[in-house]
Chain A
Amino acid sequence: MTRSDNAAGQRRARPRWPLLVALPLLAIGGWQLGEGVYIHAKATLAQFLLERAWAQTLDGDSEVRPWAWADTWPIARLTAPDHGVDLIVLQGASGRTMAFGPGHVSGTAAIGADGLALIGAHRDTHFRFLEHVRPGDALRLQTADGTVYDYRVELTEIVDHRQATLPMIEGRSTVTLVTCYPFDTIAPGGPLRYLVHASQDAPVMASR
């Protein structure tokens, strides 16, 4: 291919439409890929900022906002030693909150208190590990006053959120982790939820 060939009357040889289509496609592709990466980056990075806020919380400050415009604050730390998971749990479980970390659903029992505490997070970010959680696994929750509560997973199940009920034992502290199910579908939403029910052993230590 030479320029002279082109010059020899092949003006059709370089149509402009592929460029007209490809450039916006590139832009959209970049934007969508960026969005996806951003969601994951936000989920991961926020946890670093939250660590700092959590340290302050343990030091006695209350409702420490991890960044100035945040509308939530850390209330607990969730660790799953069997899965190498260490997460800061936030107040409330709105979509905006869960972008940064697992959220404690308002209206359910306080963590460590009698009753059922419900914690939700996304299946493709923070609660990806729930897929591998099995009955007998340990979960540890530390609340803002420093108390550590040990829970043991008793049951995992899949429910339809339209008909779901949660098991509750009067006078005992249980925690239920919830995320979307199945773990691997590409489309968000759907009616199924994956539940991990754990109940509490006695509090093991109180430290500051």
Chain B
Amino acid sequence: MKPATGHASCRRALNPFHIAIFWLVIVAAVLGLARPVAAEVRQVPAAEMNDGGLFLPADRPGYVVPATTVDTDVHIEVSGMVARARVTQRFVNPTDDWVEGVYVFPLPEDAAVDRLRLLIGERQVIGEIMERAAARQAYEQARDAGQRASLVSQERPNMFTNAVANIPPGEAITVEIEYQEALDYRDEAFSLRFPMVVLPRYIPGDAIGTRPDSGTGWSFDTDRVPDASRITPPVAAPGTGPTNPLRLSVALAPGFPVGSLESPHHAIEVTERPDGGYDIELASADVYTTRDFELVWRPVASAVPTAGVFTERLGDFDYHLIMVMPPEEPGAVLDLPREMVFVIDTSGSMAGDSIVQAREALRFALDRLGPDDRFNIIAFNDQPTSLFTHAQPVSLRSLEAGRRFVDGLIADGGTEMRSALQLALAGPVSEEAFRQIVFITDGSVGNKAELFGLIHSGIGNSRLFTVGIGSAPNSFFMTQAAESGRGTFTYIGNTAQVAERMGDLFARLASPALTDIRIAWPDGTTAESYPGAIPDLYLGEPVIVSARTPAGTEGEITVSGDRGAQTFISTTELNAGQDAAGVAALWARAQIGSLESQIYRGADREAISRQITDVALEYQLVSAYTSLVAIDPTVVRPQVETVTTEAIATNMPDGVDMQMADVAAPPQPLDSLGAIRAMAANGSVQVAQLPRGSTPAGLNMLFGVLCLVAALALLLAARRWVRWMPVSQP
């Protein structure tokens, strides 16, 4: 009887009205399906572009598609020698899709990144430190589940990626990142640098396959730079204007009367506070992430600090940041004849202002050579070219040849730094000459580990001094290279600084270095301090040490060193330290940095990475092996919607020529399409409208067959039912 009752009720329900509704639904479904199933991107007329934001050409001429951008708000609190920065990144999604934004951004190379917050309305989700792979897994799980999440990982000590998942269409997600850093103090000036943009890196090597953690950059991973896809963010196409606006403010508590305060690359507004501090803001509201910010302040002459100790107590330990300025010896001059080798980067990334500054710096250097010195110049892009086969004595003729060589330098091609370094490090050195290599570059290389190894093994008795050029040089590379080569790093941000900064460098080159620097701790104290071996110091450079001692350590520390035949000794009271939050994080960061440089010296990578992970987990720091991840438990994205991953476009640094073709030309000949592809998001590459290449035929046929099958099934069922009916009658 069951079928009968079933159909009886059906029949009662199925009056003409219901059948009509049924057909309405079917028609609506057909119409719905007839529309393109994948939602089309919102296109706006090009004229609306002045609303701001980044736009990409759409498939309709004259129309553009908005792209996800990042607004950054930076606030830095400076106290004594320590800076604490809060970087607020707002990922704005103007599209109609759910977006995962992947933003590659720079931070100072010694930044100890220790905090991540996801801001959702009034709520905060605090990030936690996890091992890199686990963090990525947790993040991807949350992303796929439709939760808002953020993952901050370190690609290089000065380059980080923030991936933010499930930004709703037309909305934004705000993420706060905090870090701690020690300030740079030399030549009686403190400086604070905030890098804003990643200079496109030169990627040598051959492409290898992708891995689960391959990134969204323009380059493939290569055998020489296995994570190339993670460090090559796309660059906004020329003509779309600068993207990613930035606001920046600094609260400066210098701890001494300030004689001068300047920002060489940005216009600033300074307000003096009654307590002797300063509030500094960018003067223009129209700043984009196109060039690094630098703030330099000097004490008045009577208040030049010669020593400082900053202390933080955490758990069973006291952490100290110690600065000691060795006394200067007026008139102390290096009386060895020198062999100066100038190495200049003439690769494509130096095109524009950078090569002009570099030429200027070289001319300055040639003018200051002593009569007993010898010199040579090596220029390199895809391959090195040297002025002389060996260093030549300074003479009117050799100098003239040098000047002509410098005038003829143009920037073009790749950055094959390895062969240039080999050339500079090799070659005969006369017994009595002291060889100094001055390396002028923007450091846009991806294969730094390879190069550090080369410097370590080849430096011998020579010294390597790096000079960073341009609006966003890779200062991590150059600081490390100089450290490996027992020299110093000098940064030149614009042409106006060339004379001043090169002057400082030459003063350093011409004066004897302070060597064999030792620190004696109070009797019976076990102190762990970094750097382990203090590098030689040049004129105007202080000894800066991060140390950990058992809580309550008191007494004097003695710093000593040799300058030529003289010995200098300085004592400082340890417990006279000023309380400073964040010194412990700096100590841990210094330890990580010291461990990392052991890898370049050939230590076992496996063992070192274990140690770095342990330190980073204990002190809650982001490192190459640990990441910060914040996950909001609420699921916001409906499961029917998908999330689109967008690599956030970055700006080309100011003054760099927009020809990407030159910036990152891999060693292959430029006439291969694959080479161009491995290179660029723009430049010689043109955006065209891509036609839509699919028909609804498959869908039509599928739907048609389904309808036919349904109809036949229905008819068959109806007939069968009629056949069964009598049988089921009693």
Contact = CB atoms under 8 A, between A and B. Distances in A.
Interface of A: 1-2, 5, 10, 12-15, 17-26, 28-37, 39-40, 93-95, 98-99, 103, 105, 107-108, 116, 118, 120-125, 127, 154-155, 157, 159-170, 172, 174, 178-180, 186-191, 193-194, 197, 199
B688 interface: yes
B697 A36 contact: yes
A189 B692 contact: yes
Closest CB pairs A-B (n = 8) = A29-B707, A33-B704, A32-B704, A36-B701, A120-B691, A179-B693, A29-B708, A189-B36
A191 B691 contact: no
B638 interface: no
B93 to A, nearest CB: 13
Given A29-B704, A33-B700, A161-B59, A105 B36 contact: no
Given A168-B685, A174-B673, A19 B693 contact: no
Contact of A124 (B688, B694, B710): B694
B702 A29 contact: no
Contact of B691 (A99, A105, A157, A168): A105
A127 to B, nearest CB: 6
Interface residue range, chain B:
35 or more
B673 A30 contact: no
B417 interface: no
A28 to B, nearest CB: 5
A180 B692 contact: yes
Nearest to A167: B676
Nearest to B670: A169
A34 B59 CA distance: 30
Nearest to B8: A12
Nearest to B13: A17
A165 B700 contact: no
B718 A19 contact: yes
B694 A179 contact: yes
A199 B234 CA distance: 25
B728 to A, nearest CB: 11
Given A26-B707, A33-B704, A169-B671, A180 B11 contact: no
22 contacts: A13-B725, A18-B715, A22-B715, A22-B718, A24-B23, A26-B707, A28-B30, A29-B705, A30-B704, A33-B704, A36-B697, A162-B58, A164-B687, A165-B681, A165-B685, A166-B688, A170-B684, A180-B693, A186-B698, A189-B37, A191-B38, A191-B644
A179 to B, nearest CB: 4
B33 to A, nearest CB: 8
A178 B690 contact: yes
B65 interface: yes
A1 B723 contact: yes
A151 B644 CA distance: 34
B694 A15 contact: no
B690 A155 contact: no
B676 A169 contact: yes
B682 A120 contact: no
Contacts of A194: 693
A197 B40 contact: no
A66 B721 CA distance: 55
Contact of A180 (B686, B694, B717): B694
A133 B646 CA distance: 28
A207 to B, nearest CB: 28
A196 to B, nearest CB: 10
Contacts of A17: 11, 14, 19
A126 B691 CA distance: 14
B673 A25 contact: no
A150 B185 CA distance: 63
A25 B237 CA distance: 51
Contacts of A118: 688, 690-691
A174 B674 CA distance: 12
A169 B673 contact: yes
Interface string B427-439: 0000000000000
A188 to B, nearest CB: 4
Contact of A39 (B19, B41, B684, B695): B695
A158 B722 CA distance: 55
Contacts of B639: none
Contact of B65 (A24, A162, A187): A162
B533 interface: no
A28 B26 contact: yes
B680 interface: yes
B688 A167 contact: no
Contacts of B300: none
Nearest to B722: A13
B517 interface: no
B711 interface: yes
Contacts of B704: 28-36
B677 interface: yes
B705 A33 contact: yes
B686 A98 contact: no
Contacts of A99: 695
A178 B691 contact: yes
A1 B548 CA distance: 98
Interface string B46-59: 00000000001011
A1 B722 CA distance: 8
Contacts of B36: 187-189
A28 B710 CA distance: 11
Given A17-B19, A163-B646, 10 more contacts: A18-B715, A32-B700, A40-B697, A118-B688, A162-B56, A162-B65, A163-B681, A166-B686, A188-B695, A190-B38
B302 interface: no
B7 interface: yes
B696 interface: yes
Nearest to A154: B673
B699 interface: yes
A190 B59 CA distance: 13
Nearest to A189: B36
B672 interface: yes
A31 B37 CA distance: 20
Given A21-B19, A180-B694, A169 B684 contact: yes
B685 A187 contact: no
A128 to B, nearest CB: 10
Contacts of B717: 18
Nearest to B11: A15
A167 B685 contact: yes
B2 to A, nearest CB: 15
B568 interface: no
Contacts of B695: 39, 99, 122, 124-125, 188
B714 A21 contact: yes
B677 to A, nearest CB: 5
Contact of B707 (A32, A164, A189): A32
Given A12-B8, A30-B704, A105-B688, A120 B693 contact: yes
Contacts of B14: 15, 17
Contacts of A107: 688
Contacts of A190: 37-38, 694
Looking at B644, B682, B715, the one whose CB has the most chain A CB atoms below 10 A away is: B715
Contacts of A197: 673, 677
B42 to A, nearest CB: 10
A183 to B, nearest CB: 9
Nearest to B697: A39
Given A35-B704, A167-B685, A190-B38, A124 B698 contact: yes
A22 B714 contact: yes
Contacts of B65: 162
B689 interface: yes
Contact of A26 (B67, B698, B711): B711
A163 B673 CA distance: 18
A178 B692 CA distance: 8
A21 B710 CA distance: 10
Nearest to B721: A13
Contacts of B506: none
A125 B7 CA distance: 46
